[in-house]
């Protein structure tokens, strides 16, 4: 992200001999968003994030960012939460979702707060997740990591790439599963396999990912949110109207099993799938100081939907739940329409999740292409290759819900729960208003890290075991 932004704005970074706050009598020429050159006479001033964003093209408004936050978190994970609640139990499941939502939002705020502090300290306009971790290690208390800060960005980016591409794989499979159900309703036994529908989807996905700028995706995110809201309203109407008709709540366990609890953990973390797009969205905001409010509003809406969907879905269908709630809806005209809406919404969501790995990987490849005339063509070819990879993996996935749990337990736990508190401790090492605030922060952060590590290890092992078993069944 920072490399791309640097092409369009002056990179203000402090050196060891140049104080960040003093630019006396210096006249700088910068390129504005409309391509004109402006002369700035800077006199003892410090560029705030908002001021530096004036030189960044394709910035997003608060409402556009809110649309992206909602679309980045409302996807296949939401529709799979009834299965997660079934694994954890009728009481433990909803309470667990509330707890995971609170932890996820706090960790997102930790990332943003650390990013702002490090950007200000190093005089940078923006950093992505990996670069924040690298900058924290560079300025941190451990000499080895100060000499080798790249370890931070490499580690985070590997998990980010796995997570986002995993989302894209799941999106392929979700769309194919639902189209398969629709096709089966009309043509019965003549329906092709799910894998065939994944192949059919490929050219449509490829066309969509040719959109390269985040602000150009904002209108599509708005459309996807509208489609999702319509689909959710109809789905909730069906579930509420059928509560108690097929399942007696008294027959549902309050707690599932310890094994199911860790599968729930992975699915719940996967559902908060916007962790990878938090900093890219904040980096592109025209008014970054408003991001906290935008994040809280968006995540409150998201968490409320999660708890409601997971609880009501389990109460309605009980142990008959399938991988996603849409597959439990009846094969009638209105509910076929709902499946179409969700397929379109998830199709649009693919572009937003796809944006993150491209922003991480493409700059390294772009720098190896000597001629600028071939860089644009090279980017489109690279996008084609990544879509091919996600499509191929989707074809090999045996069961959607288990793959969701694996992604959540392995990379989701690391990115959403383990790394943010660790990042905050490194960034604000021994910084606080008092010793009590430091110790309370450390207690909270290390509690999060322990919970994340437990879910990471046990959840990954159990998910892998279940996936291997599914291959042989």
Percent of the chain at pLDDT > 70 equals: 85
Burial level of 315, CB count in 10 A (0-12/13-18/19+)?
buried
Are the beta carbons of 269 and 408 closer than 8 angstroms? yes
* Alpha carbon distance 383, 202 (integer Å): 12
pTM: 0.76
Burial level of 355, CB count in 10 A (0-12/13-18/19+)?
buried
Does residue 339 lie within any of the structural domains?
Answer: yes
Does residue 270 lie within any of the structural domains?
Answer: yes
- DSSP label at residue 369: -
Q: Where are the beta strands (DSSP E) in 102-244?
A: none
Quote the tokens at residue 26: 């210096």
* Alpha carbon distance 40, 315 (integer Å): 63
Quote the tokens at residue 249: 């709540």
Residue-wise pLDDT tens digits, 359-409: 888 888 888 887 777 888 888 899 999 999 999 988 887 677 788 888 888
Mean pLDDT of 207-214: 82
**Per-residue pLDDT at 289 exceeds 90:** no
Domain count, the chain: 1
* Alpha carbon distance 244, 225 (integer Å): 30
Does residue 367 lie within any of the structural domains?
Answer: yes
Are the beta carbons of 252 and 314 closer than 8 angstroms? yes
Does residue 126 lie within any of the structural domains?
Answer: yes
Please report, for the domain that includes residue 222, its CATH number: 1.10.4160.10
Q: The domain containing residue 346 runs over which residues?
A: 56-471
Does residue 458 lie within any of the structural domains?
Answer: yes
Does residue 364 lie within any of the structural domains?
Answer: yes
Does residue 47 lie within any of the structural domains?
Answer: no
Percent of the chain at pLDDT > 90 equals: 25
Are the beta carbons of 29 and 37 closer than 8 angstroms? yes
Mean pLDDT of 17-46: 37
Q: Which residues contact residue 392 at a Cβ distance below 8 angstroms, ignoring those fewer than 6 apart?
A: none
Mean pLDDT of 66-77: 77
Return the SS3 of 429.
coil
* Alpha carbon distance 199, 222 (integer Å): 27
Radius of gyration (C-alpha) of the chain in whole angstroms = 23
Q: Count CB neighbours of 205 within 10 A.
A: 20
Quote the tokens at residue 196: 């065939």
């Amino acid at each position: 992200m920072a490399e791309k932004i640097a092409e369009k704005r002056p990179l203000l970074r402090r050196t060891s001999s140049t104080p960040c706050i003093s630019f006396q009598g210096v006249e700088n020429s910068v390129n504005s968003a409309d391509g004109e050159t402006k002369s700035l006479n800077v006199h003892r001033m410090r560029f705030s994030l908002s001021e530096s964003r004036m030189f960044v093209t394709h910035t997003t408004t608060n409402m556009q960012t809110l649309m992206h936050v909602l679309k980045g978190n409302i996807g296949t994970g939401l529709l799979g939460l009834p299965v997660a609640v079934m694994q954890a139990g009728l009481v433990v499941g909803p309470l667990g979702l509330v707890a995971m939502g609170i932890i996820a939002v706090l960790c997102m705020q930790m990332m943003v707060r650390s990013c702002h502090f490090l950007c200000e300290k190093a005089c940078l306009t923006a950093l992505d997740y990996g670069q924040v971790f690298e900058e924290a290690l560079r300025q941190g208390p451990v000499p080895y990591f100060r000499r080798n800060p790249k370890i931070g960005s490499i580690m985070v980016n590997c998990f980010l790439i796995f997570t986002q591409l995993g989302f894209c794989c799941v999106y392929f499979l979700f769309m194919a599963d639902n189209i398969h159900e629709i096709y089966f309703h009309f043509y019965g036994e003549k329906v092709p396999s799910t894998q065939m529908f994944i192949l059919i989807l490929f050219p449509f996905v490829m066309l969509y990912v040719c959109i390269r700028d985040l602000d150009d995706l904002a209108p599509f995110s708005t459309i996807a949110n509208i489609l999702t809201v319509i689909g959710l309203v109809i789905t909730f109407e069906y579930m509420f109207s059928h509560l108690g008709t097929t399942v007696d709540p008294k027959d549902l366990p309050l707690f599932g099993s310890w094994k199911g609890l860790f599968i729930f953990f992975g699915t719940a973390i996967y559902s908060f799938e916007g962790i990878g797009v938090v900093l890219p969205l904040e980096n592109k905001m025209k008014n970054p100081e408003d991001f906290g409010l935008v994040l809280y509003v968006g995540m409150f809406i998201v968490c409320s939907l999660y708890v409601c969907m997971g609880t009501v879905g389990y109460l309605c269908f009980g142990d008959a739940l399938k991988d996603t709630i849409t597959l439990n809806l009846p094969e009638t005209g209105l509910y076929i329409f709902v499946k179409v809406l969700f397929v379109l919404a998830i199709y649009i969501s693919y572009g937003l999740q796809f944006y993150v790995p491209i922003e991480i990987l493409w700059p390294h490849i772009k720098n190896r292409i000597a001629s600028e005339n071939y860089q644009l063509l090279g980017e489109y070819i690279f996008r084609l290759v990544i879509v091919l990879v996600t499509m191929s993996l989707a074809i090999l996935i045996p069961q959607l819900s288990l793959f969701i749990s694996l992604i959540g337990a392995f990379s989701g736990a690391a990115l959403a729960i383990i790394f943010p508190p660790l990042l905050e401790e490194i960034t604000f090492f021994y910084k606080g208003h008092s010793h009590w605030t430091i110790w309370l922060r450390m207690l909270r952060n290390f509690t999060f890290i322990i919970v994340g590590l437990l879910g990471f290890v046990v959840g990954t092992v159990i998910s892998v075991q279940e996936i291997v078993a599914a291959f042989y069944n």
